[in-house]
Structure 1
Amino acid sequence: MQPVLALFNHVLGQYPALRAELAELAGRRVALALPPIAVSGVITAEGWLAASAGEPEATVRVKPVAALTAQWAGRTPDFADLELSGDAELAQRFGHVAGQLRWLPVEDLSRVLGDAGAHRVEGWARGLAGFKGEVAARLMDSWIEHLRDEVPLLANKRDVEHFVAAVDTLRDDAERLEKRLARLEAARGQGSEPE
């Protein structure tokens, strides 16, 4: 078995309800790509992913930058952060399941160290990563601010709201003008007819 496939199934094993959802799609070939890692296979009757030589019927690609930005913004990546191809319904269902998978290292540690030891190690790791995570979050915020304000690759929310409001006003004004012109033409048409 491919190492990435084994890892996917290992994480999937921590979620029996998601495996049950996948089991409903038994026999279908799917692929998940999170560059540079990709996994593909056929869904088994038990809800696992098994190696398959055939082409996937549906592929779910995670947009790395969008997913990373979502994580830093404190939200779970959603369908906007995914590219679906192939059978749309299959891709959507598989993407829904794959999007909920999160590796729970404390589950693996508890098998080795017991529950108390696993939670202690998790607390220690969170404390160690806490400072680094805070620095990384601040760097990401600065980078996003730079892209939005200094190099306008991202639109400022306020500017987008003003633009949308201006477009709405223009549309309403154009509709009023069309109605006024129609009334004037109707009045002109009535006045020019011989009596």
Structure 2
Amino acid sequence: MRINTTSPFSFLQSLASRFQPPAWFVDEGQQKIVLLLNHVLMQEKEAQNRLLRKKGSVVHIRWGVFALDLLITPAGLVDRAPSSAKPDLLLAVVAESPDVVFQSVLAGKPPPVKIEGDVQLAAELGWLADNLRWDVEEDLSRLIGDVPAHTLAGLARQALAGLRQFLAHAPRPPSAATGQSGAASMTEPMKASS
């Protein structure tokens, strides 16, 4: 009997490589990401204070064909940077495969990232990544009430735990077994800007 070790995300990866979304869709998606980031940032005053120290800085985020330039505002929030803005920091997700990124996130680890540019800005963003959390259950409770929000959040936690357990016991493709897709081997050290 032959076991299929193909990733369930390989279909999505092949679809993403052939699909080019319209410009309005990309624009709207980026705007929604900015709104979500600001919503989460506004829940933590320390996060805004840390970003305020780097106001005017531009962060370029890239993963495959997805790219977003964020400008840190004088309010300690983010906005989309003008296309002419020169980035102070580059954050590029090294793993092209959604499978590798998804497994990293499920394991509670950041995906492998290449970081270049302003080391101090990278440190502030690292602090945000380690300490800033979106309280989805709290936001849901404002929309549908405490009990339904708690029930939905509990179901989501159970589903996530089941998925983590499944992925922990799932057979790995040969490249994963040899460590070629490990986060530590693909992550590059920070490079200070000159």
| Same fold, TM-score > 0.5, yes or no | yes
Q: Which residue of 1 aligns with 2:140?
A: 109
- The alpha carbon displacement at 1:101 in A equals 4.1
> TM-score with structure 1 length normalisation?
0.59
User: Among 35, 41, 54, which residue is 1:12 paired with?
Assistant: 41
Distance 2:101 2:127 in 1: 14
User: Among 66, 90, 93, which residue is 1:62 paired with?
Assistant: 93
Alignment of 1:50 with 2:66, yes or no, is no
Alignment of 1:137 with 2:168, yes or no, is yes
Deviations along 1:48-105, one digit per CA (max 9) or x if unpaired, are 1022211221122233466555445x45338xx3211122332332343245444432
- The alpha carbon displacement at 1:124 in A equals 2.1
| 1:143 alignment partner, SS class | coil
Distance 2:149 2:166 in 1: 26
RMSD of aligned alpha carbons? 3.2
Task: Sort the Cα spacing of 1:111 and 1:34 in 2 relative to 1 into closer, same or farther, 3 A.
Answer: farther
Whether the 8 Å contact between 1:40 and 1:56 is mirrored in structure 2 is yes
Deviations along 1:99-146, one digit per CA (max 9) or x if unpaired, are 54444321220111233331111112233444344223322xx317x4
Alignment of 1:89 with 2:149, yes or no, is no
- The alpha carbon displacement at 1:34 in A equals 4.3
Unaligned runs of 5+ in 1: 155-195
Q: How does 1:1-40 map to 2 (within 5 A)?
A: 2-35=31-64, 37-40=66-69
- Specify the code of the residue in structure 1 equivalent to 2:109: T
Whether the 8 Å contact between 2:71 and 2:78 is mirrored in structure 1 is yes
- The alpha carbon displacement at 1:37 in A equals 4.1
Q: Aligned residues: percent identity? A: 27
Distance 2:38 2:131 in 1: 14
Distance 1:91 1:121 in 2: 35
| 2:60 alignment partner, SS class | strand
Count of residue pairs brought into register by the alignment: 147
Q: Which residue of 2 aligns with 1:76?
A: 109
Which stretch of the first structure deviates more once superposed, 61-70 or 9-18?
A: 61-70
More helix, by proportion? 1
Point out which structure has higher relative CO (alpha carbons under 8 A, 6+ apart): 2
Whether the 8 Å contact between 2:68 and 2:80 is mirrored in structure 1 is no
